[in-house]
Amino acid sequence: MPVWMMRQAGRYLPEYREIRAKQGFLELCKTPELAVEVSLQPFRRLGVDAVIVFSDILIPAEAMGLPLELGDAGPHLPNPVRSKADVERLRAFDPEVETGFLPEAIRRIVKSVGAEVPVLGFAGAPWTLACYMVEGRTKEGFATVKQFLYEEPRTFRELLHRIAQATIPYLKAQFAAGAAAVQLFDTWCGELNLQDYQESALPAVQEVISEISGSVPVIYYTKASQHLLPAAARSGANVLSVDWRVELGEVRAAVGPKIALQGNVDPAVLLGPHERIRNVTLDTVNALAGRGHILNLGHGILPNTPVKNAQLFVETGQQALLQDLRPAAHSR
């Protein structure tokens, strides 16, 4: 049972904040030596079992032709996609040319950590990337996106198709550079009801995964998606990553034994006392008896998390595997 954390390179680490004081977020993503350094910081500090390359899910949106602003206030795409003409202007891109900094960072990380440490690549799933591309920023409910979907379903599905077709070579470039696995982030799929998910978001995910399946393991992350999990398990992914809103045992019962699970400690637990962090982590491990499970948070680590608490989470998970710790279940 390996353990790593989403957003494990970030503002909770003082060494990351030191670099960010001198560099903008987007510049950090696009400068391989800096991306490598911040990718490796949690590996050195926490001893996690995998390194995920430092980047952002909106990098492909910029490469497809949308101006992109990234900062601490969140993403901003000032020219959002709102029409058929906007969709048709989106372009395919060569990931080794327009986004060559990312595979280069992966190559350097792999060289640094060696073959024994998995390096993870990632991308945004088509629906989640479309949410940002249409809204222009994060907005609760994504009403503009849904209006586009309902009023112009063919055009919206063409948008998802174009994103999928751009994502496939983008991910292929990452595992060609040495990524041992890739994760698709579908952070906003939970905003959809089951029918809309099955008719729009899921086929686009399946389009991506079907083209890369068999090359490296694929992790599919969904959030606030309890109503979607049996459908999400049909994505073709090797691993389904879930948030903290549902117990892992319930997820296993819903999706069956053929797909591994990742997650799902509430990131806010790492703000609490050490005893609770340890108990919740062990409960999460015990939920699946450590089998078919990647221990992770249910979303990204929070910026105000004490480093020692993040270390405790990682160490507890690793010790549970090594020492077969199986105490009686604790209440979350």
Domain chopping of the chain, boundaries: 14-323
Identify which of 94, 218, 227, 234 has the alpha carbon closest to the alpha carbon of residue 165: 94
User: Region 304-321: what's the mean pLDDT?
Assistant: 95
Task: Give the whole-angstrom CA distance, residue 129 versus residue 113.
Answer: 30
Beta bridge partners of 131: none
Site of tokens 């998606």:
225
CATH code for the part of the protein at 14-323: 3.20.20.210
Q: Write the DSSP symbol of residue 3.
A: B
CA dist 126 and 161 (Å) reads 8
Residue among 45, 49, 56, 283 flagged as catalytic: 56
Q: Note if 11 is an active site residue.
A: yes
Q: Which of 16, 49, 86, 132 is catalytic?
A: 132
Residue 20 designated active-site: yes
Instruction: Supply the pLDDT for residue 329.
Output: 47
Distance, CA of 326 to CA of 176 (rounded, Å): 39
pLDDT at position 250 is 95
Q: Check if 56 is active-site.
A: yes
pLDDT at 325 over 60: no
Task: Name the pLDDT band for 324 (thresholds 50, 70, 90).
Answer: low
Res 140: pLDDT: 77
Q: Which of 324, 323, 305, 322 is nearest to 313 (CA)?
A: 305
Q: Which pTM value belongs to this model? A: 0.95
The pLDDT of residue 96 is above 80? yes
Distance CA 117, CA 227 (A): 35
Q: Which of 12, 16, 20, 49 is catalytic?
A: 20
- Name the CA radius of gyration of the chain, rounded: 19
In the residue annotation, 221 being an active-site residue is answered as: no
* pLDDT one-digit tens code per residue, 104-114: 999 999 999 99
Which residue stretches of 114-201 are H helix?
126-135, 143-151, 153-176, 194-196
> How far is residue 295's CA from residue 297's CA, in Å, rounded to a whole number?
7
Which position among 11, 82, 137, 157 bears the catalytic label? 11
pLDDT at 158 over 70: yes
For 261, the enclosing helix (H) or strand (E) is: strand 260-265
Q: Is 72 a catalytic residue?
A: no
